[in-house]
Amino acid sequence: MNLVKLLKTLGVVIVVLAIYLGLLATLIHFEQASDEPSITNLGEAIWFSIVTMTTVGYGDMYPVTNQGKWIGYLFIIASMGVLGLLIGRISNMINEVRENHHLGYNGTSFTNHVVIIGWDRYAQTVLEQLLPAGVKIAIILDQRSQIDLLAGGYERSQVYFLLADHHNFELARKANIEAASIVFVNLNDDTDKLVYLINSKKFYHKPISHAVVVNDHELIPSFRSAGADVVLSRDEIDAKLTASFIFEPEVAKYTEELISSASEEDSFDVQQYLVIAKNRFKDRYYLDAFFEIRKQLDAILVGLATTINGERVVLGNPDDPELKISEGDYLILITSGRAAKQLQRAFGVAEGSL
């Protein structure tokens, strides 16, 4: 199909070129027969045609015969087409650049970001929880109307949109998916999520972490076997929150606020910080860190994520006086939006595992 189109285009170019050269030859023929010719050779004829069709019109060369003037009229009329063509092409190029940017086809340079596959109200809630924490997010949607609706509502420096089929793994590379910290697979059907996960693991050469929220909790082992790093059951999450609001509404409300990002300076949040080599609490006792963080950094240390016997565990407020904080552990704290900035400076890292 492309070859046929190319041949047609080539044929049109040859015909237009032949007509153009024929007009030039005719112009030279009539002008040379005049007593005071202004156009006597091919170079002068080409110059006259170009400045005429581009509406420059220097006036240094012009036809003096009636036949030459008629050919000049043809070039003047052709100039309208040339200008229209140029303006149309430029307009199309500008529109194409805007369209590609709008649909995400220019790609993104985000790294260590979150990629969300599929869009719905649940994904939007996740997005709005991550944004206050400064997390950059790439969203892959398969409906043009969704991008048209959402693109103007978020800063492009923090949220990137890509229109693509959810299973088009090659196009998903424009979301820099292989450099993402985690991919949240948010497709409607559990089977579709599982197929995506299996095919994604086969397609990408670099290891990619995946998070999935399943509708059927009985499928959790299948997703873990398929390589999902984080698997949650939507029913269990909803049921636990609902039960908590029924039985202990104040506790549930406080818990809900804690698990949300601290977007305001006076709001509170549970955060985790990776212990890096220059963290001043590395190799120190947990209990010492607890009191120092409370006194100097205005936060409460409530837990430690560490590795014991090769297994990753979370210790909630441990009271072991011999427990030390090691590089690679995560400090889990309750802090305010105001203190969070101070914690980032003190620990040398941003919150989260991203």
DSSP for 290-311 reads: HHHHHHHSS-EEEEEEEEETTE
Which residue in the block uniquely carries the two structure tokens 């581009």? 54
Take residue 68 and report the two structure tokens written for it. Answer: 């030459």
163: enclosing H helix or E strand:
strand 159-163
Rounded mean pLDDT of 118-122?
90
Q: How many CB atoms lie within 10 A of CB 142?
A: 16
Take residue 141 and report the two structure tokens written for it. Answer: 């949607």
**Where residue 6 sits, what CATH number does that domain have?**
1.10.287.70
Q: How many CB atoms lie within 10 A of CB 217?
A: 15
DSSP, collapsed to helix, strand or coil, labels residue 204 as coil
pLDDT for the residue numbered 138: 95
Query: Residue 271 carries which side chain, given as an amino acid letter?
Result: Q
Asked whether residue 63 falls in the same domain as residue 128, the answer is no
Rounded mean pLDDT of 275-280?
91
Confirm if 2 and 9 have CB atoms less than 8 A apart. Answer: no
CA distance linking residue 182 with residue 112, whole number of Å: 8
Asked whether residue 132 falls in the same domain as residue 224, the answer is yes
Confirm if 344 and 351 have CB atoms less than 8 A apart. Answer: yes
Residues 6+ apart with CB under 8 A from 39: 27, 28, 31, 45, 48, 61, 62, 63, 68
CA distance linking residue 237 with residue 161, whole number of Å: 28
pLDDT at 66 over 70: yes
pLDDT for the residue numbered 302: 85
Asked whether residue 295 falls in the same domain as residue 191, the answer is no
Residue 259 in domain: no
Q: Pick the last residue of a domain from 71, 103, 135.
A: 103
Q: Pick the last residue of a domain from 204, 238, 272.
A: 238
- Number of domains comprising the chain: 3
Confirm if 72 and 52 have CB atoms less than 8 A apart. Answer: yes
The strand pairing partners of 269, in sequence order, are 335
Confirm if 104 and 160 have CB atoms less than 8 A apart. Answer: yes
CA distance linking residue 216 with residue 254, whole number of Å: 28
Look up residue 153 and give its DSSP letter: G
**Where residue 202 sits, what CATH number does that domain have?**
3.40.50.720
Asked whether residue 95 falls in the same domain as residue 130, the answer is no
Asked whether residue 320 falls in the same domain as residue 232, the answer is no
Asked whether residue 207 falls in the same domain as residue 125, the answer is yes
User: For residue 169, what are the domain limits?
Assistant: 114-238
Ordered strands of the 300-308 beta sheet:
268-274, 330-336, 300-308, 311-316
Which residue in the block uniquely carries the two structure tokens 């110059």? 47
CA distance linking residue 352 with residue 354, whole number of Å: 6
pLDDT at 1 over 50: no
Tens-digit pLDDT profile for residues 46-55 = 888 888 877 7
Tens-digit pLDDT profile for residues 183-197 = 999 998 999 999 999
Asked whether residue 210 falls in the same domain as residue 118, the answer is yes
Tens-digit pLDDT profile for residues 279-307 = 999 999 999 999 898 888 888 888 898 98
Take residue 328 and report the two structure tokens written for it. Answer: 């690679």
What confidence category does residue 114 fall into, taking pLDDT thresholds of 50, 70 and 90? very high
